[in-house]
Amino acid sequence: MKVTQKDLLNIPKKALLKGHFACAGCGSTLAFRHAIGAIADKVILVVPASCASVYQGGGKGAAFNVPTINTAFAASDAVASGVRRAMKTKGKDDLKIVIWGGDGSGADIGIATEIGACDRQEEILHIIYSNNVYGNTGGQRSGDTMIGAKTATTPYGNTTPRKMVPFIMMANNARYVATASSGYLEDLVYKVKKAVSMTGFKLIQIDAPCPPNWRSDSADTVKIAQLAVKTGVWPLFEWDRETNLVEISRPSKKYEDITNRVPLTEWTKLQGRLKSITEDQLKSLLADTERQWNFIRKFM
């Protein structure tokens, strides 16, 4: 099931057509093109209020080349449940019901609905593309915002740790949980394909740099995403309910060892939101990163 660079060049379906409304250097659309493109022939997409409800375009110029249902902010997992159950009654069990939404819905307003669908073991793949903010509304703090990051509602830097949605879903008996990155597309596509082949509720959370809100150069999106992995701040892993084991993904393996990690400032200095992070905030961010790793290690 390994996905190679060659596979990336031959995306089975153009899921994202020309003329989408995304910002230059959008990490989310990059991930979308490959992740959804790899599984697109049998997909029904459910999109909660998010950047994706805008960048899909509108009218005759719609850029999403897959059937798409737009829902209210907190409704996507329940709408997807309804679609899945209805398709079951129609004998269309082979369809893949995929939610594509941001961290605003996935980590905050929609999390009760998400846990509800997970609790019911609905056969859904929920993909959170995390840009760490409410991007569409102008970049306010979300539950998934990094410590130290300046947002529209944390002008002096966010002080609280990220809400770890993957861990929450592991605790709620999801079938499969993984993190991924816009900087490692082979790994992302591999995980998405694997997830849709499984029954039950699956969650993949993607690090998706957002140049306007991260105040980064749109040419640096992939570089920043890769640095998040190399600095250890965004560990890539998979967890499978059957084994209850975490496997660190290949791009992250080397960086489990803290001594191999690139200094965090290499990653922060490329982002306006983190450029003036204080010493204390940097310490907290490092501590929070370690907290994540320690959590993961318990399943290894």
Partner 1 sequence: MVVKHDKKSMTGNDAASYAVLYAKPKVISAYPITPQTTIIEKLSQYVDEGKLDAEFIIVESEHSALAGCMGAAWSGVRTFTATSSQGLLYMAENVFWSGYGRLPIVMPVVNRCLAPGWSIYQDLQDSMAFRDAGWIQIYTKNNQEVFDTVLQAFRISEDKSIALPSMPCLDGFVISHTTAQVDLPNAEDSFNFVGEYSDPVIEVDTEKPWIFGGLVGPEKFIKVRTDLMEAMERAKKKIVDMNKEFGEYFGRTYGNGLIEIYGDDVADLTIVSMGTIADEAQDAVDKLKEEGLSVNEMRVRTFRPFPEKDIVEFAKKNHKLLVIDRSVSFGHAGQLRIEIEAVLQRNKVDTSVEGRLMGLGGEDVPYPKIVAAAKEALRSKI
Q: Which residues bind partner 1 (CB under 8 A)?
A: 41-44, 46, 53-54, 56-59, 62, 64-75, 77-90, 95, 112-113, 115-116, 119-120
C-beta separation of 296 from 248 below 8 A: yes
Whole-number Cα distances in Å, 235 to 75, 238, 246, 281: 29, 10, 11, 20
Q: How far is the CB of 107 from partner 1 (least distance, A)?
A: 17
- DSSP line for 100-124: EE-HIIIIIITHHHHHHHHHTT-S-
Query: Between 44 and 286, whose beta carbon lies closer to partner 1?
Result: 44
Query: Between 41 and 290, whose beta carbon lies closer to partner 1?
Result: 41
Query: Between 83 and 270, whose beta carbon lies closer to partner 1?
Result: 83
Query: Between 121 and 265, whose beta carbon lies closer to partner 1?
Result: 121
Helices 27-39 and 185-196, packing angle to 10 deg: 40
Q: How far is the CB of 254 from partner 1 (least distance, A)?
A: 40
Q: How far is the CB of 227 from partner 1 (least distance, A)?
A: 34
C-beta separation of 186 from 178 below 8 A: no
From the CA atom positions of the chain, what is the Rg in Å? 18
Query: 69 exposed, middle or buried (CB, 10 Å; 0-12, 13-18, 19+)?
Result: middle
Q: How far is the CB of 17 from partner 1 (least distance, A)?
A: 9
C-beta separation of 185 from 108 below 8 A: no
Query: Between 91 and 155, whose beta carbon lies closer to partner 1?
Result: 91
Q: How far is the CB of 110 from partner 1 (least distance, A)?
A: 10
